[in-house]
Structures are given as C-alpha cells and as structure tokens.
Structure 1
C-alpha cells in the first residue's frame, strides 16, 4: 500500500506542480497573479484524475472516491473562471506587488516570489488536503475486494449537501452582484445579500465547501486508516473560516452599515434560522 501511495503522490504532484509552473508563466505574460485562484478547484481535479488513472482496479469505491473531487473541481473552476477572467488582477495581489516595490524588490525577484509563495504554496495546500484521495485510492488499488460501507453513503450524502450549498450560494451571490453592479453610492451604503441560503448563514458557499471535504474524508474512512487523513477536512475548514475565507471577507464587509445588523441576525457559518 505504501508503494501505491507514493506512486499516486508522485504522479499527482508532478501533474499539479507542472501545471502550476505553466500557469505561473501565463500569469507573468498577463501580469495577473490572480489566475492562481481559478486553479484551486482544478488542482484537486488533477489529483483525483491521477489517482483514478494509476488505480490498478477501478472499483465502484475508487470511482466514487475520485468522482466527488472531480465533479466539485469542474464546477468550481468554471464558476471562478467566469467570475474572474477579464476583470484584471485581484486587489490582494496588487497590494502584494506594491508592498514588494516599496521594499525595493526587483521585478525578477518578485516573479520568483510569486512562484514559490503564491503558486507553489497553493500547490502544497492542494497536495495536503488531497490526502484522503491519495491514501484511500492507494489502499483500494491493493484491495480490489473493498466493499461500500455505511461511511461511504454518509460521506456522499454530506458531499451532496455541501455541493448544493456551495453551488446555490455562489449562484445567488452572482445574481446579487449583477443586480447591484451599477450601485453608485458610498461603499459603506452598499446593500448586503440576506436572501436565499444567505438568510441562514453568512457564508453558505464556504459551509458547503467544508461539507464537501468532510464528505470526501468520510468516504476515505471506508479504507483502512483513512481516518488518519483527518488533517485534510480540518485544514480546509480552517482555511475557509480563519485564514483566507470568512474572517478575511468579514473584515472588509464590516464597513457596510447593513452588515452589522446582518451579523446580529445570521449565523456565521453553520446554517440556522435567523434571530428575530
């Protein structure tokens, strides 16, 4: 099993980091480091495809295990590509570039920094979070007789709930943003989305994303020692709530007057009925 795991890790890692180098070169041409954001879901898709291709026996279990991140990766990549392409570099990367310029960092050094911190940094996260797929597919490859247990069914149900929350939440946000794209007032007076799923949680898309990876982990737990990859959903949840997701976004949103009332009435992450 160890041999199969390292085979999966080597092939998936080569595919992910090779793609990142190509994407980095494209980002230099267009001076747009935010292209990396579109790659996030696609990177997990590549890992799952590599594991599926390297599997000695594509059993029903292996198919389910790899289909979940592939379907999620396709949807998220298409959504982010449609949302981001043609809108220029994200302000986060513009700010990073300006800080580097103020510190006297040369253009060549800045380019190398983006490769190793932004692009390869995301690649490392993808490989760590993909541990359940890498590990469980390796085990399944050596145990073709593996059966579909209750954890697989529970994991798939949680994944479906998460997928719907993320997809519907993103669609509702896109509609809201389009409807208010011509808002002319002050930034503090911008309206806040509090309808649909956003009535029950301030971040339905992030909640859905977390559920997706807890579901994948549960499917992986059907294999021996799959539970040992629990760092994967924990890290994804941490990213979504503390590092680059909810907390970062809410620091920016709190300047809006309507957002304070929204915070008081609406659960931060786990959906529940709004407070009266």
Structure 2
C-alpha cells in the first residue's frame, strides 16, 4: 500500500504540472480550482487499480468519489468560464512577482497537489478490499449524502443568485444560505468525514488527520476565514448577515423556525 500511495503523489503532481503548462498560455492559474477534485479522483482510481480484489463495496466508494469530484470540477469550470483570473490568485501573483509564471508551479499547483495527496489517504483505505459491508458504511453514506446535497444545492443557489444582475451587491440569505453562511463548505466537511468513516473498516482509523486537515482548510485557510474577510470588505450588508446567521454549522434554531412557519 505504501508504494501505491507514493505512486499517487507522482500522478497528482504530474496532473498539476500539465495543468500548470496550460495556465502559462492562459495567464490564469485559477484553473487549478477545477483540477483540485480531479486529483482525488485520479488517486482513487489508482488506489482501486492496485487493490487485490474489486467488490461491490469498493465500486460504491469509487462511485461516490467520482460523483463528488466530477460535479465539483464541472461547477467550478462553468463558474469561472470566460472570467478573469480569480482575485485570490491575482493577489498571490502580485505578491510573488517577478517570475510568478515559474513560481506558480510550486506555489499554486505543487502545493495543492501535495495537500490533495495527503488528504487522499482515507480513500486508499476506503478502497482497500473489505469483504463485506460494515455498519459504519451506512453512517458514512448518509453523511456523504447530506454533504453532497448541501454542497451541490448551495452552489446552484449561489450561481443562480450571482447571475441575476438585480442581485449585484446584495447578500444571498435564502435557501440553504439562511441556515449557514457557508453551506457549500459545510457540505464539503460532511463529505470528507464520510470518506473517513468508509476508511475505518479497512484499518484506516489512523488517517483521521486527513479530514481534520480538510476541516482546517475549510475553516481557517482557503474557506470560511478567507471568504469572510473578502466579502465583509466588499459588501457592507454582509455584516448584518453575519450577526444573524451561523458561520458554518447550520443553525438548528433557524431550521425549527422554518418548520413552524410552514
């Protein structure tokens, strides 16, 4: 298993290098966002291909990974299509000139590749041949489904909101965004803890650091922390939204209030 895991690093970094070359022609490194989830899918396919046996459970796990990865990649590609380089990467570019074109190979693509490789380790154990379904699989799939619904529906609601010119400068506070300021990140959180639970029956209980790292990224690095700072600066109305809506976990109070209203 160790050699398979190391092979995945080479595969992921190779994908990053090829996409980096493409980014040089476009002068846009934000295409790495579309690559992110595909790195996990490529690693998962490699892990399963090296597994001694393939059974119904492993096919189910790979299917969950593929559905999540392809949806996220397609969504980000469509969202960014025809748009200039994302402001986050423009700032990184400004802070790393001169020669950012070369530096982006390791600052952007290499770094995200290594992070994806580290976080992918529960997938290796989730895809390792477990001869029968485990009771944890039920909890894992339910958690994955909750996460997928939150992430996909929230992304669709935000995409539709932003496409409406009448909403320019406004804050989305309806739908899933009524219960948490970041329902898409909460969905991602659920999905990765679901993957971890799928790894436990394959003796992957010790890989808990991977979903923990993903949670840290979502809360403090590239997710909630970064978005809160940017949005509050750009949209003054966001401050009022912050005061009435949970930052990450859906507010149960708001859920019950909605049920009573109906």
Q: TM-score, normalised by structure 1?
A: 0.87
Contact 2:122 2:207 in 1 (8 A): yes
Alignment match, 2:236 = 257
Alignment match, 1:267 = 246
Alignment match, 2:206 = 228
Alignment match, 2:158 = 173
Match of 1:208 among 187, 192, 198: 187
Contact 2:183 2:248 in 1 (8 A): yes
Q: Which runs of 5+ in 1 are unaligned?
A: 184-189
SS at match of 1:233: helix
- Within the alignment, does 1:118 sit opposite 2:97 as a pair? no
**Aligned counterparts of 2:21 and 2:108: Cα–Cα separation in 1:** 13
User: 1:175, CA displacement in angstroms?
Assistant: 0.6
Alignment match, 1:23 = 19
Q: Which runs of 5+ in 2 are unaligned?
A: 258-262
**Aligned counterparts of 1:6 and 1:12: Cα–Cα separation in 2:** 10
SS at match of 2:125: helix
Match of 1:239 among 208, 217, 223: 217
Contact 1:131 1:232 in 2 (8 A): yes
Q: How does 1:20-99 map to 2 (within 5 A)?
A: 20-99=16-95
Evaluate the alpha carbon distance shift between residue 65 and residue 7 of structure 1 in structure 2; reply closer, same or farther with a 3 A threshold.
farther
Contact 1:242 1:248 in 2 (8 A): yes
Deviations 1:30-56 (A, max 9, x none): 111111111111111111111122222
Q: How does 1:184-199 map to 2 (within 5 A)?
A: 190-199=169-178
Alignment match, 1:187 = none
SS at match of 2:41: helix
- Within the alignment, does 1:162 sit opposite 2:152 as a pair? no
User: 1:182, CA displacement in angstroms?
Assistant: 7.4
**Aligned counterparts of 2:56 and 2:176: Cα–Cα separation in 1:** 33
**Residue-pair matches, total:** 254
Contact 1:129 1:232 in 2 (8 A): yes
